[in-house]
Amino acid sequence: MSEPVFPLAGKSVWVAGHRGMVGSALVRRLQSEKCSVLTASRDDADLVRQEDVENWMNANRPQVVFLAAAKVGGIHANNTYPAQFLYENLMIEANIIHAAFKAGVEKLVFLGSTCIYPKLAPQPIPEEALLTGSLEPTNEWYAIAKIAGIKLCQAYRRQHGSDFIAAQPTNLYGPGDNYDLATSHVLPALLRKAHEAKVSGAKTLSVWGSGTPLREFLHVDDLADAVVFLAKHYSGDRHINVGSGEEVSIRELAEAVCQVVGFEGELEFDASKPDGTPRKLADVSRLTQLGWQSARSLEEGLESTYRELGSDNGLPDFQQR
């Protein structure tokens, strides 16, 4: 591994959004970086309010910012609260990025999402696919805000020379995930359903759709490792995809989940539920060329995620497993 172009040791580092799944993984990962980690509670600063953010930044003077704060949610939430998704995400990014520039922050890493890419982007999706076609309509509010965040980083770099970079993670899972079956993504949903099926002695497990769609999954601790790697080793105006580079079908995912949980019944595919996009895989060759690759297999990630689930995870009968 090459020497970091931007060592974090000795720096004061703000993780904005430290209570979220990504932010809390970053706080865990930064424990081994010999830097001091700053966090702001909602009482300290409402990130949607510019004055709050500027006051907090002036009082705390971080040298590095990881911008993991965002209003997030699944397809249903995105569709139902479009104004909130667009407004809150735009405000959070604009406030933090501008305040970071004004305070002379040395490095900022903005976290986006691969939903910034056009609905019909080529697969695997290269970074260049950005703004080449129409977005998936159900999450365009969130995607437009995240695209604006990437553009803010590029604009402050171009106009002011700020070392602000942007990373776009693929589908994430791990500690702090959402296990509410109505709003969760497929991986936590299947973990919960398989667990509950095992506990209740059910014979079948319901999987939405046909099982044929292909998806890529990255453990959030691997994302945090990649993001810290990028902070230390990358400086440039091109945003960088972060993924595992491996895809599985939903059927294969369901089988792997059943294996880990120890559910031995049959899978039952529910054709009344949508498949969604047939394939969603990030092209991670740029990240790989920079020198980072995910080390954890999906099976290992599922094992540790299932093992670490605690009583606050939304699995009501967790104690029985």
Residue 83, SS3? Answer: helix
Please give the DSSP secondary-structure letter assigned to residue 105.
-
Please, which residue, 181 or 295, has the CB nearer to ligand GDP?
A: 181
Sequence-ordered list of residues with C-beta below 8 angstroms from that of 307, at least 6 positions apart, any chain: none
Q: Is 189 in the site for ligand GDP (CB under 6 A)?
A: yes
CB of 204 to ligand GDP, least distance (A): 13
Q: Is 175 in the site for ligand GDP (CB under 6 A)?
A: no
Q: Residue of minimal CB distance from ligand GDP?
A: 276
Size of the chain, expressed as the number of residues it contains:
321
Please, which residue, 95 or 139, has the CB nearer to ligand GDP?
A: 139
Q: Which 199-258 positions form the footprint of ligand GDP (CB under 6 A)? A: 207-209, 213, 215, 250
Q: Is 275 in the site for ligand GDP (CB under 6 A)?
A: yes
Q: For 33, list phi and psi in degrees, rounded to 5.
A: -110, 5
Give residue 312's Cα distance to chain centre.
Answer: 20
Please, which residue, 6 or 306, has the CB nearer to ligand GDP?
A: 306
Whose tokens are 């704060």? That residue is 69
Does the annotation count 142 as an active-site position? Answer: yes
Judged by CB under 6 A, the stretch of 102-110, 123-131, 153-161, 271-279 that binds ligand GDP is 271-279
Based on the number of CB atoms within 10 Å of its own CB, is 259 exposed (0-12), middle (13-18) or buried (19 or more)?
middle
Give the integer Cα–Cα distance in Å for 235 and 250: 36
Q: Which 102-161 positions form the footprint of ligand GDP (CB under 6 A)? A: none
Count, in order, helices (H) and strands (E) of the chain: 10, 12
Please, which residue, 66 or 85, has the CB nearer to ligand GDP?
A: 85
Q: Which of 81, 87, 117, 142 is catalytic?
A: 142
Please, which residue, 52 or 247, has the CB nearer to ligand GDP?
A: 247
Whether 282 and 170 have beta carbons less than 8 Å apart is answered as yes
Active site residues: 142
Binding residues (CB under 6 A) for ligand GDP: these are 171, 184-186, 189-190, 207-209, 213, 215, 250, 273-276, 280
